Structure 1
Amino acid sequence: MGAPRSPGGARASDDDARGRPSAPDELKNYEKLGRIGEGTYGVVYKARCRATNEIVALKRVRMDRERDGMPLTSLREIKILQRCAHENVISLKRVIQGETPSNVFLVFEYCEHEMARLIDFVKTKFTTSEVKSLMMQTLRAVEYLHERKVFHRDLKLSNLLLNQRGELKLCDFGLARTYDPIEAGIYTPKVVTLWYRAPELLFGEEQYTAAIDMWSCGCVFAEFLKHAPLFPASTEIELMQMICALLGNPNSNIWPGWDSLPHAKSFKFPEQPYNFLELNFPSLSPAGVDLLDGLLTYDPGKRLTAKEALAHEYFKEMPPPKSPAEMPTFPSTHNTSSSRSRRAAEDNDRSKRQRGALDDRIAAVF
């Protein structure tokens, strides 16, 4: 027979069988130590488990906008994370209920840093070895998801966490969902925070693939290098202008069929046929520029996959990536203010509000 299950559905540990305290499933057994952050879908606290002394992150699911129970985004997040077990994907430890049925908390492993705040807080840029370590860990998380037919659909710097052991964790799976890699599905294009949104989404593509995550990986890679966002646009039109200024205009030679996408004719493109990646990243090796270019490729069918990116020459050339244990440590940045994080959050809030009504109508299907 298997081990007994706890009331929350988790398998009881060997410690339970020996009579020692296990991690509890009631809110009263957690001591809140302070607020870490607040997003569209809930407040996150740093907390201590009274039974084990383990430090965790408690995410309170926001229910005040819901009439029919838990929000779809939280249900998706729970369902997908319960299937995941990877060192670079945040670990969901349990789901617990508070004093009332509408008071629900997700218990996650605790990480000291949100990468967006850390980059704003630390003025010294990461070394090449450190960038390689962070990027490889990001790509490993994405590869793991894509191998399980899940795309994240909101990959950005503020959804990457870092602990004091140098381990990077991908979090916030509210927009993630499964997909069929063979038979293209139809999905809402109103996903991904604006700064990290792929061109096919800007052009209204509804039959997109996991390649949208890879474009976001390219934006994250650039941000690790620059210590600043690559495309800090306020509108989709401004974003497309920034993309064209850096990469040149899309055309049918490099992206067959792009001009037949729903919103392609809504944009007026400047006369800009050149790719300026190499000029904008002068300290990046030719192999690094090639990797960045492969991630920021217009045609999603030609964009690098996570597996291809991990095998890229950039990670093999000197200097080698640092191991997580060799990564520098920093004071926790959860209570620091980040104007860039606020701008990204504000954009994300606007996007989620705009697509809220649409998501309500299509949630059961998409």
Structure 2
Amino acid sequence: MGRKRDRWDSDSDSDAPSRSSRTQQRPDRTPRKSPSHDKSIRSPGYSSRSRSASPSDRDRSIPRHNFHWFGCRSVDNYARIGKIDEGTYGVVSKARDKQTGEVVALKQVKMSADVCHEGFPATALRETNVLLALDHPNIIKVREMVVGSTPDKVFMVMDYAENDLKTVMESKMTQPFLQSEVKYLLQCLLRAVAYMHDHWFLHRDLKTSNLLYDSRGVLKVCDFGLARKYESPIRAYTQLVVTLWYRAPELLLGATTYSTAVDMWSVGCIFAELVLMKPLFPGRGEIDQMDQIFSLLGSPSTDNWPGLADLPNAQNIKWKWQKESRLREKFPRTASFAGGNALSNAGLDLLSKLLAYDPKQRLSAKDALDHEYFKEAPALKARELMPTFPA
């Protein structure tokens, strides 16, 4: 006879539709203190500085009963409302705290069949450690960890956000963002990224579907499944990170030593997407991705990218020669306060510096926050005046 299923089984919510356009919904806030709530969850054999999500890491596991040792509360303290989404590393549900009535997001960590017999997956534990280590108003915060009736049911409790920016732009907006609104959203993102980088974390998967947007106009970075602590001097990491459309050219050309600049390229792509209301480089594969980048920005060379020749794939890939950047054609100049695909000279300068080929010349998050673009008119819109959208 099989095990009796309970209401927290990941496929027991047929009455709650999934939102296919969102990859992982996870909101934030200050953690609720409980006996289990420590700033990092440590387990035998695990280090918060361990390497990123390589295949060997994904297969590795940590003894799952550690969460019970920490005295985590039961998931039964929450009443499930419906399913939000299911991503690579877990199922996210909307739930209500039975004691306070507050609506939260619960992410159930996904256990593969083999891992369930061995322990808690190291990739999920790494993400949990990162989120517990970060505390910023524009970054998702894990409030607490809760457990189900069996050791394979472990959940992260986070604030609930109604939307992500990808869903908002694709299906809920009839007009583009105003320039003042783009500035507000970009500033929120840059503040979060600057905080992460100041604390020696790389996100490595920044994209609009990983930017939550709630009913109060608050933007929060989520989905830290590929995040990792980085070091100085820079070590070799996997280049198989960052969703293709937001992937920096050095990663496309095989770089394994990289740093914060890979996140900043993604920020540049997101900035352009907020203006255009569509992805800047929607490549159909890695070669097409590079073709789209080089066609718009001009071909890379050792003049504008001194380290180009040292990249593993630089000699193996041939591309069409495009001498000049065509960014200004893509983003025409304007002096008006209207939205659309227009960018001022300062806005285009900021975008160009975020999309610099040479990672050493790419603008940092701190420097981007101090750019003239945020000082010129129109001023960025106040959070209280930002548009909001139903769930």
Once residues 313 and 145 of structure 1 are traced to their aligned partners in structure 2, the CA distance between those partners, rounded to angstroms, is 23
Equivalent residues in 2 for 1:170-319, closer than 5 Å: 170-180=221-231, 182-282=232-332, 283-319=342-378
Give TM-score, length-normalised by structure 2. 0.79
Shift of 1:323: 1.6
Gaps of 5+ in 2: 1-31, 40-71, 333-341
Once residues 124 and 65 of structure 1 are traced to their aligned partners in structure 2, the CA distance between those partners, rounded to angstroms, is 46
User: What is the RMSD of the two structures over their aligned residues, measured on CA atoms?
Assistant: 1.5
Give TM-score, length-normalised by structure 1. 0.84
Once residues 245 and 72 of structure 1 are traced to their aligned partners in structure 2, the CA distance between those partners, rounded to angstroms, is 40
Q: Counterpart of 2:197? A: 146
The counterpart of 1:8, out of the listed 29, 36, 39, is 36
Q: Which piece of structure 1 moves more, 134-143 or 267-276?
A: 267-276
Counterpart AA for 2:315:
K
Secondary structure, counterpart of 1:266 in structure 2: coil
Counterpart AA for 2:36:
G
Gaps of 5+ in 1: 12-23, 333-366
Once residues 307 and 133 of structure 2 are traced to their aligned partners in structure 1, the CA distance between those partners, rounded to angstroms, is 36
Instruction: Say if 1:8 and 1:96, in contact at 8 Å, map to a contact too.
Output: no
Secondary structure, counterpart of 1:140 in structure 2: helix
Equivalent residues in 2 for 1:1-366, closer than 5 Å: 6-9=34-37, 25-64=73-112, 66-67=114-115, 68-121=118-171, 122-180=173-231, 182-282=232-332, 283-332=342-391
Shift of 1:206: 0.8
Number of paired residues?
316
Counterpart AA for 1:326:
L
CA deviations on 1:28-74 (whole Å, 9 max, x unpaired) are: 11111111111111111111010111111011111025523222221
Once residues 65 and 253 of structure 1 are traced to their aligned partners in structure 2, the CA distance between those partners, rounded to angstroms, is 51
Shift of 1:257: 2.0
Counterpart AA for 2:170:
D
Shift of 1:25: 2.3
Secondary structure, counterpart of 2:133 in structure 1: coil
Counterpart AA for 2:34:
S
Counterpart AA for 2:357:
Y
Instruction: Say if 1:10 and 1:94, in contact at 8 Å, map to a contact too.
Output: no
Once residues 230 and 55 of structure 1 are traced to their aligned partners in structure 2, the CA distance between those partners, rounded to angstroms, is 35
Secondary structure, counterpart of 1:142 in structure 2: helix
Poorly superposed stretches of 4+, deviation over 6 Å:
none
Once residues 71 and 302 of structure 1 are traced to their aligned partners in structure 2, the CA distance between those partners, rounded to angstroms, is 37
Once residues 261 and 304 of structure 1 are traced to their aligned partners in structure 2, the CA distance between those partners, rounded to angstroms, is 21
CA deviations on 1:253-306 (whole Å, 9 max, x unpaired) are: 000021221111232110211101111011110100000000000000000000
Secondary structure, counterpart of 2:73 in structure 1: coil
Once residues 66 and 196 of structure 1 are traced to their aligned partners in structure 2, the CA distance between those partners, rounded to angstroms, is 32
Secondary structure, counterpart of 1:331 in structure 2: coil
Counterpart AA for 1:49:
D
Instruction: Say if 1:27 and 1:97, in contact at 8 Å, map to a contact too.
Output: yes
Shift of 1:123: 2.5
Once residues 176 and 259 of structure 1 are traced to their aligned partners in structure 2, the CA distance between those partners, rounded to angstroms, is 28
Q: 1:69 to 1:123 in 2, by over 3 A?
A: farther
Once residues 119 and 366 of structure 2 are traced to their aligned partners in structure 1, the CA distance between those partners, rounded to angstroms, is 38
Q: Sequence identity, in percent?
A: 49
Once residues 78 and 146 of structure 2 are traced to their aligned partners in structure 1, the CA distance between those partners, rounded to angstroms, is 11
Secondary structure, counterpart of 1:251 in structure 2: coil
Shift of 1:5: 6.5
